[in-house]
Structure formats: structure tokens, C-alpha cells
Structure 1
Amino acid sequence: MLKIEHISKRLGKEQILKDVSFEVAPGEVFGFLGPNGAGKTTTIRIITGLLEQDEGKVTVNGHDVVEERSKALTQIGAIVENPAFYPYMTGKQNLIHAKNLIPGLGDVDYEALSRLVGLEGKLSKKVGEYSLGMKQRLGIARALLHNPRVLILDEPTNGLDPAGIAELREYLRAMARDQQIAILISSHMLGEMEQISDRYAIIDQGVIKSVESVRNETGSKILLRVAQEETEDVLEALKTANYQADLWNDRIVVTAPETACPAIARLVVPIADLHELTIKRMTLEEQFLQVTKKEGDSHAFTHTK
């Protein structure tokens, strides 16, 4: 649905983006993560047609954002941080005002839209009476007025309390699934992105460092515990079988996908009593710190408890 191919952008003498590529599928919530100044905002500006790339291509539902600008942009809805509204107008009046600013837009089913974003029965209230979470959902409703196939949200949970964040998370996941909308969320809240995203990309210094599934196996560690006197034999056997294995406290830590567990167990059992075999997955925060660490940083992931 949204496809970014080999995008590069230079502003003055500074290379802002370098060969950036990723795509977001219909029904998917895709996290776009990176430190401040990593290139997230520049990428979003290019996707939404506010800035033109030097190289590469962005397509939305098959339409090139540069060559077919009008067709492409009608497929995109976006909100950036806290959306602004007229507080003395009702939610519906604000939506009608926004609808009237979109050329050629036909009738809108405001009640259906309110149900979609969790504002059923609330559009008759003045926006000045809305909570921040309600304003965020109204902002999403405004971004969906023209029935886009791609929704882009930049830091949508800023300022929300935990309950508001949880509500917004559930609405977005249901919306992506039920409406088959491709949702791209740019955020620095890694714990929240781990709960809401299906996949994510990490960008650092204008370069995509990783594109992964949140539930992938690449960041897993397999922890083994055997009798102390058998530890060295097990370590040697694992290394001979080309597994990366290290000793950590009283456990052996093997860097391998979860699917390797049966093979590792078969390797260990003939030479030692296997007291424990558990899996430790890297959190999104740990993966983020690992791929964005600079040489000499102290926050690189090693082994976690």
C-alpha cells in the first residue's frame, strides 16, 4: 500500500536520508522509530508530498507521490502530534468544516466515522469539553474524512495518560484490521510501539538500520542451565556446532532463533543433565539501543536478566 524505495535527500551540505526503503501493507500497523534528528520527519514530509526527494520513489496504492501527486495524496491521511480544532465548535462541526476544505469530497457518514474512532455519541459536544484522548481520536476522524488507504501519525500518544494511550492503541489496531488501512506511526515511545506495531523500521543518521517484525526471533537468547562441572563441555559442544554461546552467571546464553531450541536440547542432553532451557527475547528498547549504538557507548545490549 505504501512503498518507499531507495529514498535519499540532501539539505545543503548535509545528507539527511541515505537509500531509505521500507513498505507498509494494508491492515498493518508499522512503527517508524529513531533518535531525534534521525530522519523520521524528513521521510514523512517526503511521503506526504511536502518535500521532494533527490533520489528514489514513494508510491501510495500504486501512485507515485511526485509524478501522480494528486492521486497519491488523496490516498493519505495524516496528523502530527496534537491536532488543533476550534474549541467553541462541536466535534461534528469541526469535521464538517474540514470536509468543506477538501475539493470534490462527497457526503460523509459522520456517525459511522465516530463509531470507527470511538467517538460514538460524542460529536455533539463542543471540542473544548473533549479530553486530549478524544481530541486525538477526532484528529484521526478528520484524517479519515476522504477515506484514505494510508494513515500517518506522528507521535500520536504525546500528552496522553496511560488509559488514553491504551484506548488509542486498541482503536488503531482495530481500524487497521477491519478497514485494511496501512498505518505508519512515528514515535519515540518504544514500549508503546512494541505493543501496537506489527513491524517496525529503525532509522539512524538517515539510514534504515533494521526492519523487523515485533514478534520476530532474531533478538532472542536461549538460556541453558546444567551442572557446574558439565558447563565447559556443553559450551565446547555448542561452539563446535557453530552456536554463539557464552557463560553468564550460572547459565549458558546461546544467541539463536527460538526454532533452534529442539536441536540445542538434542545436542546437550547426551553430554549433560539439562536443568533448564528458557527463551529470553530482546525488548524493542534493547533492539533499538543495539542498532543505534555509537562506538564507545555503554548502552549496547549484552545479556539481560
Structure 2
Amino acid sequence: MLDIESIKCIRTQIMHWRLAGESIAFVPTMGNLHAGHLQLVKAAKAEAERVVVSIFVNPTQFDEQDDFANYPRTEDTDLEKLQSEGVDIVYMPKREEMYPTQMLTKVSVSQVTEKHCGAARPGHFDGVATVVCKLFNIVQPDSAFFGEKDFQQLMVIRTMVADLNFPIDIIAVPTLRETDGLAMSSRNTHLNGMQRQQARQLYQALCLAKQAVLEQQASFAEIEQAYLRRLTEQGFKPDYFSICRRSDLQAATELDEQLIILAAARLGKTRLIDNIQLDLNL
């Protein structure tokens, strides 16, 4: 496994693979890797001859500097995990390599970013889209892998790739969960013992809301409000609990069939996000 920091070096290595006719899969991460990340790596290995994983804690996607400063950094452990998975390159650029001068250009995806996490975290998705665009330009993969837990992020990347004509297949990988249903996340390590017990109730609320929708127990708006209250009563500070069309993340209507319920809520200083998909009239 190669550990590369410079743009020039990674482009040189990838050029050699291209000349040999090998396909390249890419998994962008911010490190602090858990089983969910490794699930992406496994899917990438099944897709291509070569797998590149990036580790870069991107400062431009954090709306709170304390959040950026406190983001877990576990590079040595991450490298061991990726080595055991048979990754070909770990790309770990320094901040100065990714942002050598004042950035006068940014990538902004409209509409799909305006609600949910986009409303709660202004500028976040501009940071995500810009850094992923830069990474795609550096690595130039055939395919890239993203988890469905960050579903709005997945939609942002898909939209950007389609609009800017990137020749990259964006492949979604289902959310990996703990045994009690909590979606795996690097941020889970910030939860104390009591909060960790509470955290499982977020997915439970999504499952119950899904059942309420399928059984037509109430209108979408009433279900959303009911579960916002439920999460608040359970000690969360919810940002949103939204029933959306899966295709564009706009508010679902009674005529829509492919839906997703998106939720974000804080426990103490830790912000958790999750979602659940459902199909009507099947």
C-alpha cells in the first residue's frame, strides 16, 4: 500500500495504472475509519482493479471551528485498517496541498442543498462539493463510493457529477448499523455512556415514522411534527425530521411513491444524522 501526500505523485502512479488498462475506484473519507468506511472499501475492491482512499479532514465543510478542531484524527489506526483491506493508495494531502492559496473558486449545488442539513449548516455543502470536485480532479477515478447515511451529501455529489459531466460512476452503499440500530459514524465516539443509549432512539423514531406513513396513520406534516416532539421528549435537540421525495429531497406529497425520511438531532454537542427509505404502492 502506498501512502501519498502530493498531487504530482498520485497522478503519476494513477497514470501508470491507466496505461496498464486498470480501472480505479475511489473512497473519499475524513479518517477515523469504522466498519462503515471499510464497507465502502470492500465495495470498491469488488468494482475495480485498483482502490484509492483519501483521508483529509476538510476545513471548508465545517460551520463550527470547534467541530473541526475536535474531529477525531486516528491516522495510524486508519492506515492499519486500510492495509488489511488491501487498499492500493491512501492519499493523505496536507491542508497546504489542497488549499495552497486563498480559494477564489467554489462549487455550489443549488436546490438539493437548500433544506435539511443545508439549512442547518450554512456553507457546509459548498465545502463538500468543492473538496470532492478537487479530489475527483486529482484522482480521476472510474467510480466513487459514498454511504447512504449522508443521503443529502450523496445527492449533492450525484447532482454535481451529472451537471459537470464527470465521467465517474457514483455508487451508493447502504448504511451500516450497530446492533441496536444506531448508524455507524465517526461522531459516535463523542457520545458519553448515557447519550450512547439515547442515540439508538433516533433510528427507532425513523422506523416508527416509516410504519406510520405506510399505514397512513396521519398526514406527512402531522407525522413529522409528532416525531420532532418525540425526539425532544427523549432528550434530543432535533434540527429536522422530514418526509421527502427520494429523487430530489423536496417535501413529499401524497402522490409520491419513492420516499425517504431524513432526520438530524443533537445529543449534547454531538450531531447525529440518519434516514430510512420507503416505497409506497408496491
TM-score, normalised relative to structure 1: 0.27
Computing the radius of gyration from Cα coordinates, the structure with the larger value is 1
Identify the structure with the greater strand proportion. Answer: 1
Q: Which has the higher contact order (CA 8 A, sep 6+)?
A: 1
